[in-house]
Amino acid sequence: MISKTSIPQKLIFAIAATALFASCGNSTNKEDMKTSIENKKEILVLFGAPGSGKGTLAQRAAKELGYTTLSTGDLCRQNIEKGTDLGKTLKGYIDKGELVPDSLISDMVKVWLTEQQSSKNPIILDGYPRTKSQAETLVTLLADPNFSNLSLKVVKFAIREEEVVDRIANRLVCENKKCQAVYSLKSKKPAKEGICDLCGSKLIKRTDDNEEVVKNRFKIYSATENEILNFFSEKGISIKEISATQPVDEVYESFKKIVK
């Protein structure tokens, strides 16, 4: 056994200093890691069949919680109206009645996400990704060091086909393309019959909002959704589920608990 007095005093100080610096270093690393996680900006991908209420929730989250919402439909229209290179290419496909390639949609989303980097607002992606190919592109994109500050989370709006059919049968939308607010003759009536509360435009019923079309859309959507969600699950991405059959306010409260 070595006595305490036999160890040189300088050696004792050196050992103590090394331990102290090591301790400080570990603490700093933990704090840096914690700060890095806290500084990540959240990207929420909303999944839900047409009529599930995800669009309505996205609008409310943008207004009340500060989310920036991406609608690929709006993004396509904006690029065409501005005459961007992507917009011109996109218009070419649309004018020919051809499907827009996944790669083109993903390119527009990438440009949009790059533009959002200067903003601290969390993001909601509504309508993207629509295919497994787009989901793969999104995951690859977010693995890029330029997007290392973004954290991906998926929220699924669970709803039965019968409920979707009933909702859409009672759905009205604002005819103003810049507004497109959604109303329900059952649960969200406008203050003035047939008139949008937000912009005063006329409310209309979409021509494809009929039972046969809705059932077909639901079938197609469900198959695609399962493929995409399975892919996200395999990648270890968080997937949360909300019962979309609840009243609108309860769905919103469930959403807020998920994104806290």
Tell me if residue 77 is catalytic: no
Task: Count CB atoms within 10 A of the CB of residue 24.
Answer: 10
Q: Report yes or no: 79 and 86 within 8 Å, Cβ to Cβ.
A: yes
DSSP per-residue string spanning 113-128: HHHGGG----EEEES-
Q: Report yes or no: 169 and 215 within 8 Å, Cβ to Cβ.
A: no
If you search the block for the tokens 């209309």, which residue do you land on? Answer: 204
Task: Count CB atoms within 10 A of the CB of residue 43.
Answer: 22
Tell me if residue 167 is catalytic: no
Candidate list 63, 120, 206, 219, residue with the active-site label:
206
Candidate list 41, 188, 217, 240, residue with the active-site label:
217
Candidate list 41, 130, 153, 205, residue with the active-site label:
130
Between CA 95 and CA 223 the distance in angstroms is: 28
Tell me if residue 171 is catalytic: yes
Joined tokens for residue 181:
């607010």
Q: Report yes or no: 47 and 228 within 8 Å, Cβ to Cβ.
A: yes
Joined tokens for residue 163:
């409920």
Tell me if residue 160 is catalytic: no
Give me the active site residues, please: 54, 130, 171, 206, 217
